[in-house]
Chain A
Amino acid sequence: GAVVSQHPSRVICKSGTSVKIECRSLDFQATTMFWYRQFPKKSLMLMATSNEGSKATYEQGVEKDKFLINHASLTLSTLTVTSAHPEDSSFYICSAAGAYNEQFFGPGTRLTVL
C-alpha cells in the first residue's frame, strides 16, 4: 500500500513552454501533498504544500506564478512549471501525506529545459 506515482518520469522541453507534472496517490486518499525540488548532488528543498480544495502554500522564495499547483482531488496534485527556462531544470519529487501524516514519495520527474 501507500504508493505514489508521478508522470512523466522524464521530460525535455524547449525554453518558454509550460510543463505539467502529475502526482497521484494510487491506493489512499491524500488531503495534503508536497512538492520538492532537488538539484544535482543537493538535498530536497520543499517548494510548496498542496491542500485538496484550497490554495497551495508556497515556501519562501518560490514563485507561485511560476510553479502552479492544483490539488483538485484527494488523489491528484499537479505542478505546472510555466514558461520554463533552463534554470528550472531539476528533479521534482512529490509526496503524499498518509493517515498519520507520514509522507510517501513519488519516484520523481526529471525536467530538462533546453
Chain B
Amino acid sequence: AQKVTQAQTEISVVEKEDVTLDCVYETRDTTYYLFWYKQPPSGELVFLIRRNSFDEQNEISGRYSWNFQKSTSSFNFTITASQVVDSAVYFCALSEDDYKLSFGAGTTVTVRA
C-alpha cells in the first residue's frame, strides 16, 4: 500500500504565484517523521524539512511554509511568491520505526517567468 500520496503530478505557475503541494501519508506508528525534498534537474536531492509526529506546529522558512495536520494525515508544503529557481520535483517522504524512507510519487513544479 502506498504510504505517501502526492496527488498532484505536475503544477505549472507563473512567477510570483503561490504554490501548495499536497502530501497525505498513512502509518500505524505513533512516532514517525515526515520530510520534504527538492530534486532539481541536476538530480541531487535537497533536504527541505523534517518534522516529527509530535510536533504539529507549522513552520515557515523564508518563502517556504509547511502545514502539518495529524487529524487529516497531511503535511502540505507552500511556496510563496514562486521563482523560476523553484522549478523542480518535490518529494514528500515518511520515515517510521525502521527509519527507512517511503517517498511519494513527487510533484513536478514548473515556474514560468
Contact = CB atoms under 8 A, between A and B. Distances in A.
Interface of A: 32, 34, 41-46, 49, 91, 93, 95, 97, 101-108, 110
Contact of A107 (B43, B91, B95): B43
A68 B87 CA distance: 35
A43 B101 contact: no
Interface of B: 37, 42-45, 47, 50, 91, 95, 99-106, 108
A50 to B, nearest CB: 12
A105 B105 contact: no
A105 B101 CA distance: 12
Interface of A is mostly: strand
Nearest to A102: B50
Contacts of B42: 107
B103 A43 contact: yes
A49 B100 contact: yes
A42 B47 CA distance: 18
Given A43-B106, A102-B50, A108 B101 contact: no
A105 B44 contact: yes
B103 A44 contact: yes
